[in-house]
Copies of this chain bind each other. A is one copy, B any other.
């Protein structure tokens, strides 16, 4: 089975489902051709997931595929960009039908859920890794960067944090928890749901945003550095599972990666409006801190911790 039949067999979908009205040419030529809606800018991101580093060896191929797409779509969501198209470059040690059928099932499950279309890619032989490049669009100048947080802005985060890191700790045998919670946390690790539901809220209210891939402390630090400001977090407000609060497992929420929630800032004058919007639209966001002039600290029940020397998860250094 050669490259071309591989792509055809597992990644070509019936014309109807794989095309959207903006796609002129999909899989099967030198490149794909799409049309960007008028008065929009294009938002592009790429991420590679390597076996043994971004997912454990022997992870279900459905989950590998799902997560590979999810982390890219999460980057688009953090820019407030609507997901549109993606390219897949799949490196495989060998042609394994079982792997490929499960992988493509997970990929299309994710693609359908996120509303993004596979338009091309390549396959090659080598150690298992998955590169996905995702493209979305925003109304002209409607994207949200990391660089625009201001003193007085409130810091918000979507969903729960630390849940994926809890799942990893369980898989690695570092922690024992009940089976219901185990299922939930491993699911969060293996099938993160990028917060595309946050896009309208971000466009309307966010001054800066980033997705949480490397842990709260490190990812917030990117916003602080690029905006030239400081921050104070309130530990008691962090949206974490009861087990993290009760057993004081806060490092999972602060340094654990892979949550793929959105961390964002909102001007003080907009705080009431964003709270109202989140209730009306049923979007789970929590205010966790405030942007200040300098310093990077967190208030716990007993002390003020300096966060400025702590690091987030770095895919090159740890893992």
Interface residues of chain A, those whose CB is within 8 Å of chain B, are 1-4, 6, 24-25, 28-36, 41-48, 50-54, 75-76, 78-79, 81, 85, 87-89, 91, 95, 119-127, 129, 131, 133, 135-136, 138, 140-141, 143, 145-147, 209-211, 222, 226, 311, 314-317, 319
Known: A124-B315, A125-B319. 12 other contacts (CB 8 A): A3-B315, A31-B45, A31-B136, A44-B87, A44-B119, A46-B120, A46-B122, A50-B126, A52-B126, A123-B315, A124-B316, A135-B135
Given contacts A6-B316, A131-B131, A133-B87, contact A32 B44 (CB under 8 A): yes
Q: Measured between alpha carbons, how far is A184 from B115 in the docked complex, in Å? A: 48
Query: Please, which residues of chain B bring their CB within 8 A of the CB of A41?
Result: 24, 33-35
Q: Measured between alpha carbons, how far is A211 from B127 in the docked complex, in Å? A: 27
Given contacts A89-B131, A127-B126, A316-B2, contact A45 B33 (CB under 8 A): no
Q: Measured between alpha carbons, how far is A141 from B87 in the docked complex, in Å? A: 21
Q: Is the CB of B317 within 8 A of A30?
A: no
Partner of A44, one of B125, B126, B135, B314: B135
Query: Please, which residues of chain B bring their CB within 8 A of the CB of A211?
Result: 30
Q: Determine how close the nearest CB of chain B comes to the CB of A150; give it in whole angstroms.
A: 17
Q: Copies of this chain, how many?
A: 2
Given contacts A2-B317, A146-B30, contact A89 B44 (CB under 8 A): no
Query: Please, which residues of chain B bring their CB within 8 A of the CB of A315?
Result: 3, 122-125
Q: Is the CB of B29 within 8 A of A79?
A: yes
> Which single residue of chain B is at the shortest CB-CB distance from A87?
B46
> Which single residue of chain B is at the shortest CB-CB distance from A3?
B316
> Which single residue of chain B is at the shortest CB-CB distance from A36?
B36
Q: Is the CB of A125 within 8 A of B79?
A: no
Given contacts A2-B316, A123-B316, A319-B125, contact A43 B50 (CB under 8 A): no
Partner of A33, one of B79, B314, B319: B79
Question: What are 15 A-B pairs at a CB distance below 8 A?
Answer: A24-B41, A29-B79, A29-B147, A31-B76, A32-B45, A34-B41, A36-B36, A44-B85, A44-B87, A44-B133, A46-B120, A48-B131, A50-B124, A123-B315, A123-B316
Q: Is the CB of B43 within 8 A of A125?
A: no
Q: Determine how close the nearest CB of chain B comes to the CB of A77; give it in whole angstroms.
A: 9
Query: Please, which residues of chain B bring their CB within 8 A of the CB of A31?
Result: 43-45, 75-76, 78-79, 81, 136
Partner of A120, one of B35, B45, B210, B317: B45
Q: Measured between alpha carbons, how far is A48 from B32 in the docked complex, in Å? A: 16
Q: Determine how close the nearest CB of chain B comes to the CB of A32; give it in whole angstroms.
A: 5
Partner of A46, one of B42, B89, B314: B89
Q: Measured between alpha carbons, how far is A140 from B38 in the docked complex, in Å? A: 13
> Which single residue of chain B is at the shortest CB-CB distance from A6?
B316
Partner of A43, one of B32, B209, B210: B32
Q: Measured between alpha carbons, how far is A160 from B71 in the docked complex, in Å? A: 43
Interface centre among A42, A81, A136, A138 (most CB of B within 10 A): A42
Query: Please, which residues of chain B bring their CB within 8 A of the CB of A119?
Result: 44
